[in-house]
Amino acid sequence: MKAAQIIELKKPLRVGNVPDPTPGPHDVIVKVEASGVCRSDWHTWMGDLDWVGLTTELPLIPGHEMGGVVAEVGKEVKNFKPGDRVSTPFHEACTHCSYCLSGRSNICEHSQVYGTVKDGAYAEYINIPNGDFNLVHLPDEVDSLTAAAIGCRYMTGFHGISRSNIKPGEWLVVNGTGGVGLSAVQVGSAVGAQVIAVDVDDKKLDMARKEGAVVTINARKENVPEAVKEITKGGAQASIDALGIRETILNSILSLRKGGRHVQIGITTSKESGIVDIPIDVVTLSELEIIGSYGNPRTEYDGLLGLIAQGKLNPKSLISREISLDGVTDVFNAMSNYQTYGFNIITDFS
């Protein structure tokens, strides 16, 4: 099969033929029809994730956002057959730990991330272990391109909105309007929140307005916490950091009103290495909540797919372009300069 591989960190990916995967008894082989190029893949390419315990062994096929069709199943697989249209959460789960059994498969005790510690979806085929648990059937209304758009950034934004406990009419700030941030803007708007989008790029802020933001703030032109508190008459009820740098994390926390909720989605870069100072006295005296949000548990997928099938959510509107395997390195280079807009999806695997 054809695949794009990281051979050396921060160097162009190699596109060429690699062996086809073969399924174990509980595995499913999926023919990939669409695969998203996510900033998390960029972190892997940069070697940015050692501090969270994700050490990349090269060569590696990246990619963890995908939609496709079942090509082959292991002999013990019961719920899927060749020809089924499917997707999968990016965090492979073990099926049997306490988190999987309690409906929180996104924080599975033995979770592995496709394309980070094992080969992923920048390829014609991918092997999904424990397919009966880790795969999801796609409704007829959700095509593979939409499934790839959902695969990490959108479903992560969806879960982040759930974790924020935002109510209709409340103010929600989204810091960083890349893929995750735009997803959170769209979902937050759909559930009735008054969304304020924050970025340093006016083009991204224009996209956020199209996805439902009622106000936008350019963080290079305005003091973000001051602007938010003026707009909201005291601060937002919830704020999401979708980027993972010190500045946006602090802006998120300092934009909240008393009793507000900060949701951390963005993973930090090598500069922060997972450690960021926070204004702990503000957190204490204002009874703020600091909430982590990672991926999207398998149990929330039916609701997400149902809302998309009904037309209440539209991940496809965030797709900026379709590319080939040969185009991934250019996208990674653009990500290094924060110059990507919306979702770039691989649809040409030739």
The per-residue DSSP string of 166-207 comes to --TT-EEEEE--SHHHHHHHHHHHHTT-EEEEEES-HHHHHH
Mean pLDDT, range 165-190, rounded to an integer: 96
Mean pLDDT, range 215-233, rounded to an integer: 98
Of 83, 72, 131, 35, the closest CA to residue 327 belongs to 35
Residue ranges matching CATH 3.40.50.720 in the chain: 155-292
DSSP code of 138?
P
Residue ranges matching CATH 3.90.180.10 in the chain: 2-153+296-348
DSSP code of 318?
G
pLDDT band for 47, please (50, 70, 90 cuts): confident
pLDDT at 117: 87
The fold adopted by the segment(s) 2-153+296-348 is Quinone Oxidoreductase; Chain A, domain 1 (3.90.180)
pLDDT band for 270, please (50, 70, 90 cuts): confident
pLDDT at 53: 66
215/205 Cα distance (integer angstroms): 9
Q: Are strands 171-175 and 112-113 parallel, antiparallel or unpaired?
A: unpaired
pLDDT at 43: 86
Mean pLDDT, range 174-184, rounded to an integer: 95
Kindly tell me the number of DSSP H helices and DSSP E strands found in the chain: 12, 17
Question: Percentage of the chain surpassing pLDDT 90?
Answer: 90
Cis peptide before 59 (omega within 30 of 0): yes
pLDDT at 55: 72
pLDDT at 130: 97
pTM, whole model, 2 decimals? 0.91
Q: CATH code for 155-292?
A: 3.40.50.720
pLDDT at 269: 79
Mean pLDDT, range 258-274, rounded to an integer: 90
